[in-house]
Amino acid sequence: MSLPQLLISMLLFLILFFGIGFLLNMVLRSTWIMAVAYPIIVIFIVDNVSFFQYFTAPATSFSLLWQGLIALKFVDVLVLTSGFIGAIVAGIVIRMLRVRGYQMF
């Protein structure tokens, strides 16, 4: 992956998860909902196992998930981390807006 592609991917993930987190926090009135849900989203991005196999064959499913997480390249970790930072920043912004008296948030 080239450097411009990496920077654009990181920026897109940051903005995407900031926007999703901001909207979820505003609608559900829960400040850290996206920061809590983000690891689950990362699991869905990384794994190649269907959701129901975690219940029918948990040992093999979690083993494959762990192998998938270990096999991530540094570039992938950077992109996923920037998405997590966006989710955290959304929670911080919502909290700041609520402290300043905005009733909508």
Identify whether 104 is part of a domain: no
Triad 41, 22, 8: Cα angle to 5°:
65
Residue 50's domain spans which residues? 3-99
Is the residue at 9 inside a domain? yes
Number of independent structural domains in the chain:
1
Give me 63's structure tokens: 């083993």
Within-domain flag for 50: yes
Quick check: 1 and 79 in contact, CB under 8 A?
A: no
For the entire predicted model, the pTM comes to 0.83
On whether residue 11 sits in a domain, the answer given is: yes
The residue among 91, 73, 104, 103 whose CA lies nearest residue 36 is 91
In a domain, 90, yes or no: yes
Tens of pLDDT along 33-90? 888 999 999 988 888 888 889 899 999 999 999 998 999 999 999 999 999 999 999 9
